[in-house]
Amino acid sequence: MIDGLLAPFEFEFFRNGLAVATLAGGLCGLIGVYVVLKGMSYIGHGLSHAIFGGFAASALLGVNFLLGAGAWGVASALMINAVTRRRVIGSDAAIGVITTASFALGLALFAFFGGAGANFDAALFGSILGVGTEDVVAIAAVSLLAGTLIFLRYRALLFTTFDPEVADASGVNTARMDALLMLVLAGSILATMQVLGVTLIAAALVIPATVARMLTNSFSRMLWMAATIGVVCGFVGMNLSYHLDVQSGPTIVLVAATMFAAVFMVTGATGRRRTAALARRGVAPA
Amino acid sequence: MSASAELVALEGVTCGYGSEAVLVDVDVDVAKREFVGIVGPSGAGKTTVLRVIAGSMPPAHGRVRRRAGLRVAYVPQIETINWSFPVTVQECVLMARVSSRRLPWASRAERVAVSEVLARLGIEELRERHIRELSGGQQQRVFIARALLGEPELLLMDEPTSGVDVRLRHEVLHLLDDLNARGLAIVLTTHDLNGIATHLPRLVCLNRRVIATGSPAEVLSPEVLERTYGASMQVLEHGGMPVVVDSFEHRHEHLPGVPEGSAA
């Protein structure tokens, strides 16, 4: 049995894919905390679709995918941020308009010039077949950058996420913090797109953070818990993907969803027991 | 007011959101150790005045004179807080030290400072609790603690007693009184004329423009209140303090179909 579990490690593509999926899980888990707490869960979904437009354009123009889609993603992220900060249009509407237009452009480009095929499917649903050493290096670099930024700007990012108005009045450049977060998010989506696929990145961003939120009431604990849950989902999901012969994106997301369901049930039962214990002691629950 | 006592002064400030002016030609000044209440109806621009004083909203016209190096702390309306956000009391209070240290975790000196400010407000034992698990009074104290940790000279509070019961209102008012007595200048906004405003030394009646400024006895007159709120009010006296009551006789004029003499 052990031999069977270790068998895929003989293949370089699997080792690369596993490294990327594990790092992607941790990275998305970490960034997802801010995404979920800012009430922008839909942005992961939207931005990944927007980057698909850049993916299509760079594929057709023959430019480097990372460069083309990266520039496209960063531009979309900054546009969403700028529209949202004007407060006339809600963030959900801004995300909806900008990202779906970009996604539609990607589809139209493929329809006009051709290009649907293996790359198209891989971009949508993720694939580890094309993952090379350079992808591992890219996601390791983005993870290191994101981790460093979050570490160094932890206090300002927390204040901006929790209470932007008072953070602003306290001298925090909240516009810069929001833009920074959007850039890190765009970089993370770009780096993880190949393994997870644009349609499933949102789940990798949202589920680990949501599971961590159910397990703790502390922000600092939520951050490392979400990253750890993301790492576990990426590692387990990628291994299952190989053994079940299912695409990597859906498998990783299904592992995360299963974890969510389990924690949801356990914390629900714990909460009911706590309420019952308080009621028996005649104490009103908080 | 002597220039050395002045902390902040708004001179002819006009500002707004988009093309709509919320404040028009507003003059407000705050001196050291002052306790000022800003009263007015919803949409009068009370919160905007606090934002301009705090420096988070620049005026479109006019100018803001702020003493160099002035430390200002802002306590938002408790209703605007996201109570499901995962922060403990200690994490919330530590936000005040956003610029003093790069590292995410608190230094030993910061932990001591947090303990001291929480102890001063009587909530030290709650430091590991989630902010939603506290009573209304404790929640208000957490945000005042966050403001005090920055050692401000001027505390701005937006509707500190909005939606709270009488006991909590007294608790908050006594706490603010105590902080003011120790030298902290405070500016707060309130809807509560009798519960809060009449107890303050100085009021600013605002409705986009400053209608009147002075002690409660000076500004709480039927004329000023009518101009501020656009509604008729009477001012009685009880125990040497003004008490504002609605003028009910005018209300019936606006209730078509209500027979004369029936209860509205």
State pLDDT tens for residues B5-38.
889 999 999 998 877 889 999 999 999 999 999 9
Distance CA A35, CA A37 (A): 6
Mean predicted lDDT score pLDDT of chain A? 82
Question: Where does residue B46 fall: left (phi above 0), alpha (psi -120 to 50 degrees), or beta otherwise?
Answer: alpha
| pLDDT tens, residue by residue, A19-54 | 988 998 999 999 999 999 988 877 777 777 777 788
Q: Which of B22, B98, B139, B158 to mutate to test the interface with A (most CBs of A within 10 A)?
A: B98
Q: What is the pLDDT of residue B263?
A: 41
**Window A:197-216, CB contacts with B under 8 Å:** 213, 216
> Which residues, including other chains, have CB under 8 Å from residue B74's CB and lie 6 or more apart?
A165, A166, A169, A170, B50, B54, B56, B147, B156, B157, B158
CA distance A24 to A9: 19
Q: What percent of chain A has pLDDT over 70?
A: 86
User: Is the pLDDT at A286 greater than 50, yes or no?
Assistant: no
CB of A165 within 8 Å of a chain B CB? The answer is yes
- Tell me how close the Cα of A253 comes to any Cα of chain B, in angstroms: 24
For the whole model, what pTM was predicted? 0.82
For residues A135-141, average pLDDT:
89
Is the confidence metric ipTM above 0.85 for this complex?
A: no
List pLDDT tens digits, range B66-97.
998 899 999 998 888 889 899 999 999 999 98
Q: Determine whether the interchain pair A171/B87 forms a contact, defined as Cβ–Cβ distance below 8 Å.
A: no
Q: Delimit the domains of chain B by residue range.
A: 81-151
Phi and psi at residue B85, in whole multiples of 5°? -65, 135
* A147-155 average pLDDT score: 93
Distance from CA of A1 to the nearest CA of B (A): 42
Whether A170 contacts chain B with CB within 8 A: yes
CA distances (Å), origin A223, targets A37, A126, A151, A219, B215:
11, 26, 11, 6, 50
Question: DSSP 3-state assignment of A93?
Answer: helix
User: Which of B54 and B136 is assigned the larger pLDDT?
Assistant: B54
Nearest to A219 among B75, B86, B99 (CB): B86
From chain A, the residues in CB contact with B142 under 8 A are: none
Task: Determine the residue of chain B that is closest to A163 in CA distance.
Answer: B81
The tens digit of pLDDT for each residue in A153-185 reads 999 999 999 998 899 888 899 989 988 988 888
Q: Do B92 and A162 touch (CB under 8 A)?
A: yes
Domains and CATH numbers, chain A: 2-280 (1.10.3470.10)
As a whole number of Å, the end-to-end CA separation of chain B is 48
| Torsion from C-alpha of A164, A169, A172, A177, nearest 10 degrees | 30
Q: Looking at the predicted structure, is the pLDDT value of residue A13 above 50?
A: yes
Mutant choice from A87, A149, A172, A217 vs B, greatest count of B C-beta within 10 A = A217
Between A242 and B163, the higher pLDDT residue: A242
Encode chain B in three state secondary structure: CCCCCEEEEEEEEEEEECCEEEEEEEEEEEECCCEEEEECCCCCCHHHHHHHHHCCCCCCEEEEEECCCCCEEEECCHHHCCCCCCCEHHHHHHHHHCCCCCCCCCCHHHHHHHHHHHHHCCCHHHCCCEHHHCCHHHHHHHHHHHHHHCCCCEEEEECCCCCCCHHHHHHHHHHHHHHHHCCCEEEEEECCCCCCHHHCCEEEEEECEEEEEECHHHHCCHHHHHHHHCCCEEEEEECCEEEEEECHHHHHHHCCCCCCCCCC
Is 80 exceeded by the pLDDT of residue A1? no
Measured distance CA(B211)–CA(B209) in Å, rounded: 6
Distance from CA of A219 to the nearest CA of B (A): 5
Whether the predicted pLDDT of B145 surpasses 80: yes
Per the listing, tokens 């994490």 go with B91
Mutate which: B17, B85, B111, vs A, most A CBs within 10 A: B85
> Distance from CA of residue A48 to its chain's centroid?
9
B72 CA to chain A: closest CA distance, Å?
Answer: 8
Residues A219, B91: C-beta atoms closer than 8 Å: yes
Nearest to B76 among A158, A165, A218 (CB): A165
Query: Chain A residue closest to B81 (CA)?
Result: A163
Q: How many CB pairs under 8 A join A and B?
A: 87
If phi > 0 it is left, if psi is from -120 to 50 it is alpha, else beta; for residue A39 that is left
The structure tokens listed for A55 are 């993916």
Dist. CA A75–CA A81, nearest whole Å: 10
Please give the structure tokens belonging to residue A236. Answer: 């387990």
Residue numbers in A near B19 (CB within 8 A): none
Q: What is the DSSP letter of A214?
A: H
Strand B185-190 vs strand B35-39: parallel, antiparallel, or unpaired?
parallel
Q: What is the token pair recorded at B101? A: 């240290």
Question: Using an 8 Å Cβ cutoff, are B159 and B190 in contact?
Answer: yes
> Once rounded to an integer, what is the mean pLDDT over residues B187-206?
88
